[in-house]
């Protein structure tokens, strides 16, 4: 395997082979990232107790919600860089890298301040139980304090992936993850710092990954090279990143708003065992996203470069191949998790009740997770074509609308975890249908006519 997938591979090479070469390092990166994150949860559950495990789990949906808008901007940067590389516009690609890096720093600083000032307010808003509120607040303040490092890495890795390099982010996540594991053992097992120790280990490990990705961009010799001394903020490029990134971020944020409401519904049972079991099951769920995220990101990167190169006829093939790969990857991993869910959940806790709750999450959420992957491919393909607002609207209606209607209309009279979990697959199915209809419309009536216009304008 070569070090990176080049523009030639993405634009002119065989699609399936190039997608697989791009995706496998990214898949391994996602796997290791989730594995190292799972170590956090396992260490807390085993050495700090179920209350500490619940305290960490109670912050997950909130952290995801407040950071999703800014992480969406990294998607915008990735698409713009990919399109500029596809067009062969080196100066615009370099402008995008510099502008994106400045935006990452500013966004991270804002997010850090927000976390420090409002973490307890946000936790109270989702009915976090009083016995874990202080621990959850401390974890959230420290975790979000590392937002500058987190966003610098996310933007930097997105830029590397935009040009086909999925190997260097893999190396950096290995270094960061090993740092996290070692510090977890020191802070939690040895020094007994509990949730504060886990959060501090995460902060330091994210700083490591941010430094490594920055060094990579500074020392590279291609169009994505970053000169820290001569960085310039380009308003036109920033607006282009925002045009694609903000709808993507809002979509993810609204997605997470529904998850926050779901977390509140779970918290309403006022049981640390239920929160801990849901946390363990949710942590296993992250592993099922591994293949889906890799192939979805491949769809975005390949679509953006081929769209920039005006290879419109390849966009449909890229989308359908990504769709098949996402479904196969998701079903393989979810089937494995279901087959071994008891020993896997036992890694997090020895409490039979917590394991029982985690099993419900595996059955009702992880097994049908391939539906989530399907809608992500449609949305990713649309973003790669520069259409980010349309899938955002569809997601808000299909995901948030369905889940909120279910939780506010049906759940109050049928209070059970199973009822909460059923809203996931229902919303995924409805949104997948809507996204596919939208994709067909954009491809047939907006993108393909561009090809015909270009042909007619040729001398």
CB 27 within 8 A of CB 34: no
Six token digits for residue 253:
């944020």
Confidence of residue 453 (pLDDT cuts 50, 70, 90): very low
> What pLDDT does residue 3 have?
53
What does 330-369 look like in DSSP terms, one character per residue? HHHHHHHHHHTHHHHHHTT---HHHHHHHHHHIIIIIGGG
Task: Characterise 340 by phi-psi region: left (phi > 0), alpha (psi -120 to 50), beta (else).
Answer: alpha
> What pLDDT does residue 387 have?
86
CA distance 220 to 223: 8
**Whether the predicted pLDDT of 291 surpasses 80:** no
Mean pLDDT across the stretch 392-420? 87
Six token digits for residue 164:
């086909």
CA distance 359 to 244: 38
Higher per-residue confidence, 251 vs 17? 17
Higher per-residue confidence, 337 vs 259? 337
Confidence of residue 83 (pLDDT cuts 50, 70, 90): confident
- pLDDT (tens digit per residue) in 53-73: 778 777 877 787 777 777 788
Q: Which of 256-270, 329-343, 379-393 is least confident?
A: 256-270
Determine the Cα angle at 64 with ends 58 and 69, to 5°: 150
Detail the DSSP E strand segments found in 284-422.
none
Mean pLDDT across the stretch 222-233? 84
> What pLDDT does residue 452 have?
54
**Whether the predicted pLDDT of 456 surpasses 50:** no
CB 312 within 8 A of CB 450: yes
> What pLDDT does residue 4 have?
66
CA distance 151 to 109: 10
> What pLDDT does residue 129 have?
82
> What pLDDT does residue 450 have?
67
Higher per-residue confidence, 212 vs 46? 212
> What pLDDT does residue 455 have?
38
Total residue count of the chain as it appears in this document: 459
Confidence of residue 437 (pLDDT cuts 50, 70, 90): very high
Six token digits for residue 447:
């993108």
Higher per-residue confidence, 156 vs 145? 156
* Distance set, CA 74 to CA 13, 33, 83 (Å): 26, 18, 14
Give, rounded to a whole angstrom, the gap between the first and last alpha carbons of the chain. Answer: 41
Higher per-residue confidence, 80 vs 47? 80
- pLDDT (tens digit per residue) in 176-212: 989 988 998 888 888 888 778 888 888 899 999 999 9
Q: Where are the domains of the chain?
A: 7-453
> What pLDDT does residue 27 have?
86
pLDDT averaged over every residue in the chain: 85
């Amino acid at each position: 395997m070569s070090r990176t997938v080049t523009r030639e591979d993405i634009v002119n090479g065989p699609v399936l082979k190039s997608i697989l070469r791009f995706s496998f390092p990214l898949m391994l990166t996602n796997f290791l990232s989730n594995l190292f994150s799972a170590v956090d949860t396992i260490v807390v559950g085993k050495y700090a107790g179920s209350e500490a495990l619940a305290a960490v789990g109670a912050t997950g949906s909130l952290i995801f919600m407040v950071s999703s808008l800014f992480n969406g901007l990294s998607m915008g940067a990735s698409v713009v860089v990919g399109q500029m590389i596809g067009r062969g516009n080196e100066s615009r690609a370099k402008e995008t890298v510099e502008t994106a890096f400045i935006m990452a720093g500013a966004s991270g600083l804002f997010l850090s301040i927000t976390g420090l000032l409002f973490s307890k307010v946000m936790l109270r808003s989702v009915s976090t139980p009083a016995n874990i509120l202080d621990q959850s607040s401390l974890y959230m303040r420290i975790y979000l304090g590392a937002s500058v490092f987190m966003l610098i890495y996310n933007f930097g890795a997105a830029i590397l992936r935009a040009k086909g390099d999925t190997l260097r982010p893999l190396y950096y996540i290995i270094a960061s993850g090993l740092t996290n594991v070692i510090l977890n053992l020191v802070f939690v097992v040895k020094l007994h710092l509990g949730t504060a120790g886990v959060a501090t280990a995460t902060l330091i490990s994210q700083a490591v990954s941010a430094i490594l990705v920055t060094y990579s961009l500074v020392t590279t010799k291609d169009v994505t090279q970053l000169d820290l001394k001569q960085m310039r903020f380009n308003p036109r490029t920033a607006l282009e990143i925002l045009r694609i990134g903000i709808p993507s971020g809002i979509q993810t944020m609204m997605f997470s708003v529904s998850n926050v409401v779901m977390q509140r519904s779970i918290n309403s049972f006022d049981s640390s065992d239920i929160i801990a079991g849901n946390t363990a099951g949710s942590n296993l769920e992250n592993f099922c996203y591994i293949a889906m995220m890799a192939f979805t990101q491949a769809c975005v990167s390949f679509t953006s470069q081929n769209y920039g190169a005006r290879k419109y006829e390849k966009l449909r093939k890229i989308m359908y191949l990504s769709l098949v790969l996402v479904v196969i990857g998701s079903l393989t991993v979810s089937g494995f998790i279901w087959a071994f869910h008891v020993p896997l959940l036992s890694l997090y806790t020895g409490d039979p009740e917590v394991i029982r709750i985690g099993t419900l999450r595996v059955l009702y959420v992880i097994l049908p997770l391939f539906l989530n992957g399907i809608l992500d491919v449609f949305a990713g393909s649309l973003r790669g074509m520069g259409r980010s607002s349309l899938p955002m609207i569809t997601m808000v209606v299909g995901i948030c609308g369905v889940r909120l209607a279910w939780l506010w209309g049906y759940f109050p009279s049928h209070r059970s975890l199973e009822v909460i979990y059923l809203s996931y697959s229902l919303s995924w199915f409805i949104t997948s249908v809507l996204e596919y209809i939208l994709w067909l419309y954009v491809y047939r009536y907006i993108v393909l006519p561009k090809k015909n216009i270009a042909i007619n304008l040729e001398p």
